[in-house]
């Protein structure tokens, strides 16, 4: 075997440019580097590590059917990889080394070091693109990156229409099927496999079912956490067992069937947000260094109250919708998008706590945690980010709850102590009801907390 393909957050055989193009050149083997210490340093959740392990094994099984072996390289940190990977390549007499570009800053540094080490030994390095729907830089007419989503999206759609839309197939079988190797996955962690099966099919099934049956109603249903109206494919996209261009294919196919224009799909727009935040992370490296997009927001004096932080993490703030959301995160590793916005706004504006702490807590729990979307979502919520959201937009958790969980059923699911309350009082129970249900009083008073946050941002504007 002359070609070795290194898979990272692209754990798939379909639409995997590095794997596909390598397989067109000759026989390939696949390698995955296991770097638990690095993942811990990146705050990766147990849930994500567990799903990652399961998906690697599932991929090894399906590659084995194509006659392609998958090996693991064990290291602690990225810094050990240049040596480990070079040693592996030399041992197996590899001539060509392939991978798909990874966008986060540490990963790019890692890839540069590995490439340099390999070239030193005359091993050719081939780099492909797999993680974005539109892989080239989406720039304004002046050649600068967009700082706001809407003009980015317009340009993104134009570029998209000019490119090849069909995803790549899986590699052809290169030999008789080999026995799947039972990998050493002792670094795996427990996660809710009942909700996120670690196999090759679930993501594809969810994607196609969503596009066939739900995508049309996405716009009206997506804000209601009790409704299964979104695709729930984010963990698979984050680890790359599903590629974004496979999503594009599904949306184009189903829109064509229904004689709708796929460019108008609201769901496609969400996938464009994914590209947007990833491109932002690339163009503005300071985002990866704990910095806000708007530098002057570094002057905000966050309250950072520890007791409030723990109450928020554990889902006992006394705001039922916030608590239900945080418990959903803690129990399942996932949180509905509307709730991510509500809890992040609550944390940054009403508790006036540093968004970086909330961002880190999300990352440590999310099964779909990924830096660009998480950082983008948090900075959007905190009004420190690049979006047009005005700083005085502060979500009122009770109003949000009344609007998006009208009957209170989502609250009932995750805050069962309030299950007996009716749809009117469950969003903001009386003191007497709280006592009876053994549910805490609100940890903050909404109105003054809101005004204090607005004042703090306003002062910043005056500077």
Instruction: Round to whole Å and give the CA distance between 15 and 129.
Output: 10
Q: Is 277 in the site for ligand FAD (CB under 6 A)?
A: yes
Which one of the listed residues 61, 76, 305, 337 is annotated catalytic? 337
Q: Is 12 in the site for ligand FAD (CB under 6 A)?
A: no
How large is the angle between the packed helices 397-404 and 337-345, nearest 10 degrees? 170
Closest contact distance (angstroms) between CB of 274 and ligand FAD is 4
Q: Is 337 in the site for ligand FAD (CB under 6 A)?
A: yes
Q: Is 339 in the site for ligand FAD (CB under 6 A)?
A: no
**Element spanning 127, H or E:** strand 124-128
**In this chain, which of 19, 138, 325, 341 binds ligand FAD, going by CB under 6 A?**
341
Binding mask 213-252 for ligand FAD (x = CB under 6 A): ---------x-------xxxxx--xx--------------
User: Rg of the chain over CA atoms, in angstroms?
Assistant: 23
Known catalytic membership, residue 337: yes
Count of residues near ligand FAD by CB under 6 A? 28
Q: Which is nearer to ligand FAD, 231 or 246 (by Cβ)?
A: 231
Q: Which is nearer to ligand FAD, 117 or 453 (by Cβ)?
A: 453
Q: Which two tokens stand for residue 43?
A: 């705050």
Q: Which two tokens stand for residue 366?
A: 């999310």
Task: Find the farthest-apart pair of alpha carbons in the chain and give their distance in angstroms, rounded.
Answer: 75
Which one of the listed residues 302, 330, 396, 417 is annotated catalytic? 302
Question: CB under 6 A: which stretch of 59-67, 115-123, 254-262, 267-275 binds ligand FAD?
Answer: 267-275
Instruction: Round to whole Å and give the CA distance between 61 and 66.
Output: 9
Q: Which is nearer to ligand FAD, 86 or 234 (by Cβ)?
A: 234
Q: Is 373 in the site for ligand FAD (CB under 6 A)?
A: yes
Which one of the listed residues 355, 359, 374, 375 is annotated catalytic? 355
Q: Which ranges in 128-265 belong to alpha helices (H)?
A: 149-161, 202-209, 218-221, 234-239, 244-257
User: Residue 100 pairs with which residues in a beta bridge?
Assistant: 128
Q: Which is nearer to ligand FAD, 22 or 133 (by Cβ)?
A: 133
Q: Is 362 in the site for ligand FAD (CB under 6 A)?
A: yes
User: Has 20 been labeled as part of a binding site?
Assistant: no
Instruction: Round to whole Å and give the CA distance between 226 and 234.
Output: 18
**In this chain, which of 12, 340, 356, 427 binds ligand FAD, going by CB under 6 A?**
340
Which one of the listed residues 80, 107, 270, 417 is annotated catalytic? 270
Closest contact distance (angstroms) between CB of 342 and ligand FAD is 9
User: Has 395 been labeled as part of a binding site?
Assistant: no
Closest contact distance (angstroms) between CB of 240 and ligand FAD is 11
**Computed from CA positions of residues 371, 372, 373, 375, in that sequence, does the dihedral angle turn out positive or negative?**
positive
Known catalytic membership, residue 312: no
Count of C-beta atoms within a 10 Å radius of residue 399: 13
User: Residue 29 pairs with which residues in a beta bridge?
Assistant: 4
Q: Which is nearer to ligand FAD, 61 or 227 (by Cβ)?
A: 227
Burial of 422 (0-12, 13-18, 19+ CB in 10 A): exposed
User: Has 170 been labeled as part of a binding site?
Assistant: no
Count of C-beta atoms within a 10 Å radius of residue 191: 23
Nearest residue relative to ligand FAD (C-beta): 377
How many Cα atoms are found within 13 Å in the side-chain-facing hemisphere of 148?
5
Closest contact distance (angstroms) between CB of 269 and ligand FAD is 9
Q: Is 344 in the site for ligand FAD (CB under 6 A)?
A: yes
> How would you write 377-396 as a 3-class SS string?
HHHHHHCCCCCCCCCCCCCC
Closest contact distance (angstroms) between CB of 168 and ligand FAD is 20
Q: Which is nearer to ligand FAD, 19 or 341 (by Cβ)?
A: 341
Q: Of 27, 271, 326, which Cα lies nearest the Cα of 131?
A: 271
Known catalytic membership, residue 314: no
Q: Is 381 in the site for ligand FAD (CB under 6 A)?
A: yes
Q: Which is nearer to ligand FAD, 96 or 336 (by Cβ)?
A: 336
Instruction: Round to whole Å and give the CA distance between 156 and 135.
Output: 10
Known catalytic membership, residue 259: no
Known catalytic membership, residue 43: no
User: Has 273 been labeled as part of a binding site?
Assistant: yes
Distances (CA, A) of 219 to 214, 224, 251: 10, 10, 14
Known catalytic membership, residue 156: no
Kindly report each contact of residues 61-66 with a partner whose C-beta sits within 8 Å and lies 24 or more positions away, as own/partner: 61/180, 61/200, 62/13, 62/200, 63/13, 63/30, 64/177, 64/178, 64/179, 64/180, 64/181, 65/173, 65/177, 66/13, 66/170, 66/171, 66/172, 66/173, 66/174, 66/177
**In this chain, which of 366, 367, 382, 449 binds ligand FAD, going by CB under 6 A?**
366
How many Cα atoms are found within 13 Å in the side-chain-facing hemisphere of 418?
32
Binding annotation for FAD: 218, 230-234, 267, 270-277
What is the binding site for ligand FAD (CB under 6 A)? Answer: 222, 230-234, 237-238, 270-271, 273-274, 277, 337, 340-341, 344, 362, 366, 368-370, 373-374, 376-378, 381
User: Binding site residues, as ranges?
Assistant: 218, 230-234, 267, 270-277
Q: Which residues are catalytic?
A: 270, 273, 302, 337, 355, 378
């Amino acid at each position: 075997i002359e070609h070795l393909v290194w898979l990272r957050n692209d754990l798939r055989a379909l639409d995997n440019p590095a794997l596909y193009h390598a397989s067109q050149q000759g026989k390939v083997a696949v390698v995955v580097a296991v770097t638990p210490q690095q993942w811990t340093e990146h705050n990766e959740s147990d849930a994500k590590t567990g799903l990652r392990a399961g998906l690697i094994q599932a991929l090894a099984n399906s590659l084995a059917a194509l006659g392609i072996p998958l090996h693991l390289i064990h290291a602690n940190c990225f810094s050990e990889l240049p040596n480990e990977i070079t040693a592996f390549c030399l041992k197996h007499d590899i001539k060509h080394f392939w991978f798909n570009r990874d966008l986060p800053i540490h990963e790019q540094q890692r890839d540069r070091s590995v490439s340099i080490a390999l070239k030193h030994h005359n091993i050719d390095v081939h780099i492909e693109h797999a993680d974005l729907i539109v892989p080239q830089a989406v720039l304004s007419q002046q050649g600068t990156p967009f700082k706001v989503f809407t003009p980015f999206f317009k340009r993104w759609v134009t570029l998209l229409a000019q490119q090849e839309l069909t995803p790549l197939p899986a590699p052809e079988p290169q030999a008789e099927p080999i026995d799947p190797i039972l990998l050493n996955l002792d670094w795996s962690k427990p996660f809710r496999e009942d909700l996120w099966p670690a196999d090759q099919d679930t993501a594809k099934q969810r994607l196609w079912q969503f596009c066939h049956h739900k995508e049309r109603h996405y716009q009206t249903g997506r804000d209601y956490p009790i409704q299964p109206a979104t695709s729930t494919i984010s963990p698979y996209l984050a680890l790359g067992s599903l590629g974004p261009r496979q999503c594009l294919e599904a949306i184009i196919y189903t829109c064509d069937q229904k004689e709708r224009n796929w460019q108008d799909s609201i769901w496609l727009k969400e996938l464009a947000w994914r590209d947007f935040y990833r491109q932002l992370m690339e163009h503005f490296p300071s985002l990866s260094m704990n910095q806000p997009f708007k530098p002057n927001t570094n002057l905000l004096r966050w309250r950072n109250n520890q007791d409030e932080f723990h109450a928020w993490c554990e889902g006992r703030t006394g705001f039922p919708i916030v608590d239900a959301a945080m418990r959903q995160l803690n129990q399942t590793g996932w949180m509905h998008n509307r709730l991510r916005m509500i809890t992040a706004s609550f944390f940054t504006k009403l508790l006036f706590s540093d968004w970086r702490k909330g961002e880190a807590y999300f990352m440590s729990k999310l099964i779909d945690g990924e830096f660009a979307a998480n950082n983008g979502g948090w900075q959007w919520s905190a009004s420190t980010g690049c979006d047009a959201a005005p700083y005085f937009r502060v979500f009122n958790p009770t109003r949000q709850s009344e609007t998006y969980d009208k009957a209170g059923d989502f609250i009932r699911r995750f805050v069962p102590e309030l299950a007996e309350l009716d749809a009117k009082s469950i969003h903001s129970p009386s003191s007497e009801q709280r006592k009876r249900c053994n549910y805490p009083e609100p940890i903050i008073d909404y109105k003054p907390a809101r005004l204090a946050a607005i004042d703090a941002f306003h002062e910043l504007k005056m500077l």
